[in-house]
Structure 1
Amino acid sequence: MLFKSAFPLLLLNMFLAMLGMGLVIPILPDLLKEFGAGGQAAGLLVSCFGLTQFLFSPIAGKWSDKYGRRPVIIAGLCLFAVSNLLAAVAGGLPLLFVSRLIGGMGSAALVPAIMAYAADITTDDQRSKAMSWIGASMSSGFIIGPGIGGMLAELGIKAPFYASACAGLLAMICSLKLLREPLSPEVRQARRQSGNSRENVFRQLAFSVTSRYFILLLIVFATTFGLTHFEAIFPLFVVQGYGFTTREIAILITVCSLIGTLNQVVLTERITLRFGEKRIIGAMLLLSAVSLMCLLFSGNFYYVMLMTMLFFTFNNILRPTINTMLSKEAGEEQGLVAGMSNAYMSLGNIFGPVTAGILFDIHIDLPYLFGACVLCASSWLSVRRLTGGRRAVSVRAEKSSM
């Protein structure tokens, strides 16, 4: 009953958390023009969201283990709404930067708490499907944000922020009324008294390097790096390279994200059951790299739409597959591991747009070439370390049994 009543609300909250990242991207050119800023400010504006997300994600994940998932989720929704209201009333870049920093804090609270909540209310058999749906809401929010932002901007450049703030407030009210705490008071009290504190983000990162799921966290970073590489300069790339309009960009991203999300929901569980998470991760990373490079070959609108749809599909399948593996490795520290995953995703959100902006100023094609190289290297690493590690364990088990 808890799973059925809470899960749709979790999906909505995750969608909103990721929506805030991409919402600003299609209206960046107009915003920067209005405030008299240039391309460097564009990269920083996208990246600063990831900065506070990175700093606060592990803390929020640990707090959700200690104090409960519900209060952390509600706090995240409140911060999300406040950040969008500030962006809507901003009359210059300073307040706009403040709003993005607060938005990153809201995402830091929401994402790990929602992931941990889903792990709490699902069995091992249900978890893969649950993570697939959460991954779909995460990816669709992250990818459809620019499309929604572009369409709402036709009503006014600040309209996307007002609409997003209203949605955040509504989700917060619904969560206050309908969302119940999955952790018992006894469990929370025991965790608060455990004395095991790694709430400092840098201490947690140091711990993660020696953890059994470090390779998965690196892949989370690479996946986000590649996606933000795509998103951060996509409007500039198709406008300067292929002459697309703002309306065409919004239509393209919205249609492709919806198709990519549908493909994820339909395909993820089926192909994971057939091939296993480890093989799927390596294959999706490689296919993402190929589709990213293929964007450079033609400016035909329908060709770009096809390549973009494939890129979104491969990314959408990849994310829940990684989350499922991380959840299985987390044990009793679901919030902590989800927080670290969000921190690595935040690092991708920080460095992806900045690197893409620098490379774009050098040559228009360099961001996608470099992003594809990062994804290819990650695919090779996943094949070597994930599947290779499994074979090594099997060999050791066979020797010990002899």
Structure 2
Amino acid sequence: MMDRKAFFILGFIMFLTMTGYGIVLPTLPFLADNLNLSSVQMSSLIIIWAISQLITAPLWGRLADKIGRKPVLIFGVFGFGVAFLILIFAQSYWQLLLLRLIGAALSSGAQPAVFSMVADQTERKNRSQSIAKMGAVNGLGFLCGPAVGGVFSPFGVLVPFIVAGSLAFITLPFAWLFIKETDFQRENKNPSAKGSESLSLWQSIAMVTKKGYWDLYTIILGLSIAASSLFGLLGYFMIARFDSSPEFVSLAFSAQAGFSVIVQFFFLKKFTDFFEEDTICKMGLIISTFGYCLISISSFEWVAIVGCMFTGFGQALVRPIATAMLSKRNEMGQGITMGLQHAMDSLGRILGPLWGGWVFAYMVSAPFITSAIITALLLLIVMMTSKQPKIQLKKLRQKDTGHKNYHA
């Protein structure tokens, strides 16, 4: 079981880092406005971040398997600080675009390294809960970020960026002093991991299409597309349909993120105690689908907000379970596995807003209808792939028992 102090330190690092990211996101449009950028250029600044992480996250994940988790984590947190601070020097659109590209590339190793550490040192039966708590800390930091940014924005448009970068740098001494490589990374003696050492980068990436991987990576991708379409278009939807105030729009976002954090922190353990992982995924996808449908047919603001609660609830059940199930596959190292997971998440953040923005022009509820369709299709995938012979599950348990005996 993972050391409690180490887990809290990792959570603290992720919280401060994501708080910094949450500070910057609402402030970026004001920096873009100062440079007289168009809405298309503004959107490209958000998309380029996801594109850069899509490309570089698997590279950082593979590097974490080769040189260790701690160096990649340290550099990733450092990259977050640099990513925010260098933006204050941008004087044109192309400079801002380039700096966003560089910043994302430098920082994209942090999350795969953290989740690899959690997976390394957590038993299979407890892994979903540990990953869920780390994801909840991530979400809590992102949730707090805009509020913190609102405090510093009156002091100048660049101040939130300086604060965000400073928060990332503040975490570096904690990571350097308290995180030990041997506390997180298993020795390279695991007999099942020997085959992963011979896999090239492209062979590792191709594992996304292999049996036992493709369905889980598809779930991560689909969830990300659905959620990012929601985040990108929810405000426009509420303004167009209800003429909502900024307070109600903020409340809707907070309801979605808040419910996700609460479920991951306090309720997922209860679900894992009583239900199998694939059953929890099915329940979460049903709840998410209902939430997106509720938003799309809502006639009142409060109905849309309740729909956001359901989507947050459902995502909180499915995402950590799918990530934990990926980490239990032993054909690749944890670093590349988590790096590809982060890449799928980034790809979803690219496709979701693009698709949602396009269909929104034709019908304001279309982004949420398509998100409901996506989660319903994911449910179908889970139902199809969960009908595997029980003997495969027995083999996995026997393999895990064999690893424990080997290490003993």
Q: TM-score range by the shorter chain?
A: 0.7 to 0.9
Find the aligned partners of 1:395 and 1:331 in 2 and give their Cα distance: 17
Residues 1:15 and 1:68: Cα distance change in structure 2 (over 3 Å): same
Residues 1:136 and 1:19: Cα distance change in structure 2 (over 3 Å): same
Deviation of the 1:264 alpha carbon = 2.1
Query: Does the aligned pair in 2 maintain the 1:136–1:265 contact within 8 Å?
Result: yes
1:338-384 Cα deviation digits (max 9, x unpaired): 11111111211221122222223333222222222111111111111
What corresponds to 1:136 in structure 2? Answer: 136
1:172-208 Cα deviation digits (max 9, x unpaired): 22211221113679749x999x9625335xx533232
Find the aligned partners of 2:101 and 2:310 in 1 and give their Cα distance: 31
Counting only pairs closer than 5 Å after superposition, residues 33-44 of structure 1 correspond to structure 2 as 33-44=33-44
Q: What amino acid is aligned across from residue 164 of structure 2 in structure 1?
A: S
Residues 1:185 and 1:378: Cα distance change in structure 2 (over 3 Å): closer
Identity of aligned residues (%): 24
What corresponds to 2:378 in structure 1? Answer: 378
Query: Aligned-pair RMSD on alpha carbons?
Result: 3.2
Find the aligned partners of 1:312 and 1:48 in 2 and give their Cα distance: 26
1:159-183 Cα deviation digits (max 9, x unpaired): 4322221111111222112211136
What corresponds to 1:389 in structure 2? Answer: 388
Q: What amino acid is aligned across from residue 128 of structure 2 in structure 1?
A: S
Deviation of the 1:271 alpha carbon = 0.9
Find the aligned partners of 1:20 and 1:373 in 2 and give their Cα distance: 33
Q: What amino acid is aligned across from residue 293 of structure 1 in structure 2?
A: C
What corresponds to 2:292 in structure 1? Answer: 292
Query: Does the aligned pair in 2 maintain the 1:48–1:101 contact within 8 Å?
Result: yes
Residues 1:368 and 1:29: Cα distance change in structure 2 (over 3 Å): farther
Query: Does the aligned pair in 2 maintain the 1:289–1:371 contact within 8 Å?
Result: yes
> Partner of 1:329: helix, strand, or coil?
coil
Deviates more, 1:32-41 or 1:172-181: 32-41
When normalised by structure 2's length, the TM-score is 0.84
1:109-141 Cα deviation digits (max 9, x unpaired): 011111111122223343232112112123334
Deviation of the 1:269 alpha carbon = 1.4
What corresponds to 2:238 in structure 1? Answer: 238
Deviation of the 1:106 alpha carbon = 4.1
What corresponds to 1:345 in structure 2? Answer: 345
What corresponds to 1:196 in structure 2? Answer: 198
What corresponds to 2:174 in structure 1? Answer: 174
Query: Does the aligned pair in 1 maintain the 2:48–2:100 contact within 8 Å?
Result: yes
What stretches of structure 2 of length at least 5 have no aligned partner?
A: 396-408
Residues 1:65 and 1:247: Cα distance change in structure 2 (over 3 Å): same
Find the aligned partners of 2:185 and 2:374 in 1 and give their Cα distance: 42
Deviation of the 1:317 alpha carbon = 2.2
Q: What amino acid is aligned across from residue 379 of structure 1 in structure 2?
A: L
Query: Does the aligned pair in 2 maintain the 1:221–1:347 contact within 8 Å?
Result: yes
Find the aligned partners of 1:21 and 1:359 in 2 and give their Cα distance: 28
What stretches of structure 1 of length at least 5 have no aligned partner?
A: 397-402
Query: Does the aligned pair in 2 maintain the 1:205–1:340 contact within 8 Å?
Result: yes
Q: What amino acid is aligned across from residue 198 of structure 2 in structure 1?
A: N
Find the aligned partners of 1:7 and 1:369 in 2 and give their Cα distance: 38
Counting only pairs closer than 5 Å after superposition, residues 3-22 of structure 1 correspond to structure 2 as 3-16=3-16, 18=18
Query: Does the aligned pair in 2 maintain the 1:260–1:310 contact within 8 Å?
Result: no
Aligned pairs, how many? 392
When normalised by structure 1's length, the TM-score is 0.85
What corresponds to 1:399 in structure 2? Answer: none
